[in-house]
């Protein structure tokens, strides 16, 4: 078994010297003030070990990482009928790109781009009596952690500036692929993206996807077949138009967010989260992408 503690410490020490750390997201004003010097790694092994270094315990806005969690909840409710409204193909485009919607008659290319996540949000708004509260409780149950909450300042900041999300939602509505009011769906979506977690909490939240659908308390949240499909989507679509690069360099299912977080996992082995707020030109954490590539290279533990 690799010496995980020494490996992640070494990776953190080397990368933390970098003066070029990417650019913090500014299109959501509330995120613009986050210090780009933050950098943490947390490894959660299915065997029960955990290893951490740096700013792993500082909470941050998980943003698009939340799309996997909302998809999991919707998939558990709707089953395979969900794929009638959203496809499972990589988009090859940035996360907030809307042009494919018109070309493909209002069916988003996959549930991990913004348009697809809005359809998933619409499913949850339709199916849940109190959507925001029930989604938050779903995440708290996954992690066994009631301290996880929405950052309402971030949600409001996104609502004030999320023009492309409004455009995508109205486009979906025009094709009949949004059943609820645009404002209601977007309110849920902005809160979903404004979930705050630290690296440890993030690895706990995604533990069930590395453990055949069972959370850390051994409660089943998805079937093995559903887990397989979500992991496949993370591998092929989890990093927007850099998904191929992540699969090529890192070789794990994973998901990024513009808050600078990345979660990745190796089924039956571990979940690993990194956080460094500076983003590369594709909108993924600059140091996080490098850290995970170095981690799978050093441990030789990837799906390939």
Residues labelled catalytic? 64, 67, 189, 240, 258
Whole-angstrom CA distances from 51 to 54, 56, 199, 270 are 11, 10, 11, 11
Please give the torsion angle defined by the CA atoms of residues 276, 278, 280 and 283, in that order, rounded to the nearest 10 degrees. Answer: 80
For residue 61, the SS3 value is strand
Listed in sequence order, the DSSP H helices in 129-198 are 131-143, 152-161, 163-174, 182-193
For 180, phi then psi, to 5°, come to -105, 170
Nearest CA to 257 among 232, 275, 230, 236?
275
Burial label, 239 (beta-carbon count in 10 A; 0-12, 13-18, 19+)? buried
Ramachandran class of 218: left when φ > 0, alpha when ψ lies in -120 to 50, beta otherwise: left
Positive or negative torsion for Cα 17, 19, 23, 29: positive
């Amino acid at each position: 078994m690799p010496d995980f503690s020494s490996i992640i410490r070494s990776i953190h020490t080397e990368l933390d010297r970098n003066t070029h750390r990417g650019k913090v997201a500014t299109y959501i004003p509330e995120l613009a003030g986050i210090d780009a010097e933050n950098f943490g790694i947390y490894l959660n092994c299915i065997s029960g070990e955990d290893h951490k270094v740096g700013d792993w315990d500082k909470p941050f806005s998980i943003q698009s990482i939340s799309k996997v969690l909302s998809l999991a909840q919707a998939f558990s409710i709707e089953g395979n009928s969900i794929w009638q409204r959203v496809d499972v193909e990589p988009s090859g485009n940035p996360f907030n790109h809307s042009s494919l919607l018109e070309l493909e008659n209002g069916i988003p290319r996959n549930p991990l781009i913004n348009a697809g996540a809005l359809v998933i949000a619409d499913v949850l708004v339709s199916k849940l009596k109190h959507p925001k509260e029930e989604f938050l409780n779903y995440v708290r149950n996954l992690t066994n952690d009631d301290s996880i909450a929405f950052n309402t300042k971030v949600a409001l900041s996104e609502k004030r500036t999320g023009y492309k999300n409004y455009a995508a939602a109205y486009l979906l509505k025009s094709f009949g692929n949004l059943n609820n009011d645009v404002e209601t769906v977007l309110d849920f979506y902005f809160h979903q993206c404004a979930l705050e977690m630290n690296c440890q909490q993030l690895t706990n939240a995604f533990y069930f996807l590395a453990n055949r659908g069972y959370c850390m308390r051994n409660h089943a949240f998805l079937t093995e077949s559903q887990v397989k499909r979500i992991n496949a989507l993370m591998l092929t679509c989890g990093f927007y138009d850099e998904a191929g690069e992540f699969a090529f360099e890192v070789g794990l299912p994973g998901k990024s967010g513009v808050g600078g977080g990345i979660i990745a996992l190796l089924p039956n082995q571990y979940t690993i989260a990194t956080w460094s707020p500076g983003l590369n030109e594709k909108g993924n954490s600059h140091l996080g992408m490098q850290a995970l590539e170095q981690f799978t290279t050093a441990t030789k533990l990837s799906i390939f």
